[in-house]
Amino acid sequence: MMLLFNDLTRKREEFVPITPGKVSFYSCGPTVYDYFHIGNARPFIVFDVLRRWLEHEGYKVTFVQNFTDIDDKMIHRAHQEHITVAELADKFIAEYNRDADALGIRRPDVSPRATEHIPEIISTIEKIIANGHAYVSEGDVYFDIRSWPKYGSLCKQNLEDLEAGARVEPGEKKRDPLDFALWKAEKPGEPSWPSPWGKGRPGWHIECSAMSSKYLGDNIDIHSGGVDLMFPHHENEAAQSEAASNSGKPFVNYWLHNGFLLIDSEKMSKSLGNFLTARAAIEKYPPLALRFFMLSAHYRSPINFTPESLEQSSAGVERLRNCKGDLDFAAKTRRNDSASFDVDGYKSQLQELDKKFSDAMNDDFNTAAAMGILFDVVYLINTTMKDNETLPGEFFTLSQNALKGYDDILGVIGSDEAENDDAEIESLIQERTEARKAKNFKRSDEIRDELKERGIVLEDTPQGTKWKREL
RNA sequence: GGCGGUAUAGCCAAGUGGUAAGGCAGAGGACUGCAAAUCCUUUACCCCCAGUUCGAAUCUGGGUGCCGCCUCCA
């Protein structure tokens, strides 16, 4: 049984998919006007891991994440850069993919772009108007929140409080300050598309309603995003989608929102000068450490991005990787299939830990607790190798598979790929081994220091010298 | 002002009634030519004050601190 905290009810609920064995999952993606920042990276990483976990649990998941490629920020930036909005979008979609790939974030099953779904958006708006929940006003179309009694039910605010903070732009023709644009009439110099209400462009929220409905249907299992999207974006999305479908069914069964990422205990903002793109973070810290950091706290808690926390995360990743490296090395040097070893006992210990890991992941996706279990697995492997001179192949197969299984979900260990200086490194190690045999420690330490400079760390073991690349 | 979240060791962080996971850092030890890795040992009056209970980090009430949303920012 899987429990998920549903922001609709503010409770942990058992996850029951609409269709047994299948999950429809929509996650809000980036507005592609710039590189995405480290705060954006949190939902991308965390919900990608949730997606993997759902698949691990046997669900066939359809994961949709949009690209918002038309809005005020897009238009503004394109003007600045003297390029078209479409060119800007193409560029930053490519940059998104580059950074997301580097962070080990799997590509969604569908990555729809708003501008490629104008007909769907228009027909969604038409349905909302036909159902009496939107009105046309001088080329704009607004959602009529007063016609929607459930409005405010996701963010749990009453309309008066929301209204107190509502902002009305000059030129907007709203009946109520909280009404929001589904369609915006064309302004000079802005991209526009023909519509029944004249030329214009879609509002911010409507694309998600139109595209989620197209790819996932009117009633979807999971919708995720950052907490700050809860209002107004998700509140509006839900109102639109339900007003359009008019089916009486909720737009979303489980709303999931990740907590905010702070930098040095402050909200990231350009004015504070603590703005950090994912690109810059990847250049500064190992992607594995960034993932480790994101998964080391519960996804709904706030996390604080500091140099110290990233160093700690890097050290944690090192421990995981050391275990994998030691295991792989021992598999080559200490394997002995006739060694006496209680394979069944070991297997049941691993299974017990695996059960704990699953329990943690199924308890509102508690990756922090699950990572704790991963370290327990590491400890079991390390102590087993410590206590046994040689081990049978089954030990290595079981252990390696266990680590790989966890890493397929969390992506915090990684694998080592051969590089073209491998042979040279190994020949230097061979030379060092000869030097050590001859008690020429000066030469042997020289070689070790030289390799250290190049990010290669040597470890001498009774079975020979093992080496690894630093993160 | 309204709504919500959070407060656990030097640091990060699990833990929704039964004598506090895990990681990082530190100290001592084993191992090592020296290291590194690993292993062993070691580090907590769970923000404060009341209350409920046989029993609370966990529940209730009241404080205090920090954070977020209410401003098309994940």
Query: How many CA atoms within 13 Å lie on the side-chain side of A95?
Result: 19
If asked whether residues A74 and A120 sit together in one domain, one would say yes
If asked whether residues A167 and A76 sit together in one domain, one would say yes
Query: How many CA atoms within 13 Å lie on the side-chain side of A332?
Result: 10
A360 touches strand B (CB under 7 A): yes
Q: What percent of chain A has pLDDT over 70?
A: 97
pLDDT for A168 beyond 70: no
A60 touches strand B (CB under 7 A): no
Question: Is residue A279 very low, low, confident or very high in pLDDT (cuts 50, 70, 90)?
Answer: very high
pLDDT for A21 beyond 80: yes
Question: Is residue A263 very low, low, confident or very high in pLDDT (cuts 50, 70, 90)?
Answer: confident
A377 touches strand B (CB under 7 A): no
Cα–Cα dist A335/A182, whole Å: 66
For the segment A86-105, the average pLDDT, to the nearest whole number, is 96
CA at A301, C1' at B5: how many angstroms apart?
Answer: 8
Question: By three-state DSSP, how is residue A59 classified?
Answer: coil
Cα–Cα dist A75/A66, whole Å: 18
What confidence score (pLDDT) does residue A421 get?
86
If asked whether residues A258 and A405 sit together in one domain, one would say no
Of residues A387 and A176, which shows the higher confidence score?
A387
Cα–Cα dist A296/A157, whole Å: 31
Report the interhelical angle of A393-410 vs A38-56 (nearest 10°). 130
- B15 C1' closest Cα residue: A369
Residues 27-56 of A with CB under 7 A from strand B: 28, 30-31, 36-37, 39-40, 42-43
pLDDT in tens, A403-448: 999 999 999 999 888 888 889 999 999 999 999 999 999 999 999 9
Question: Is residue A295 very low, low, confident or very high in pLDDT (cuts 50, 70, 90)?
Answer: very high
Which domain, by its residues, includes A99? 3-284
If asked whether residues A261 and A144 sit together in one domain, one would say yes
Domain count, chain A: 3
CA at A444, C1' at B20: how many angstroms apart?
Answer: 47
Residue A88 φ then ψ, to 5° = -60, -45
What confidence score (pLDDT) does residue A172 get?
64
If asked whether residues A100 and A228 sit together in one domain, one would say yes
- B5 C1' closest Cα residue: A301
Write the CB contacts of A46 (distance below 8 Å, at least 6 apart in sequence).
Answer: A258, A294, A295, A299, A367
Q: Given the cut 0.90, state whether the ipTM is greater than it.
A: yes
CA at A423, C1' at B30: how many angstroms apart?
Answer: 34
If asked whether residues A139 and A217 sit together in one domain, one would say yes
pLDDT in tens, A183-234: 999 999 899 999 999 999 999 899 999 999 999 999 999 999 998 888 889 9
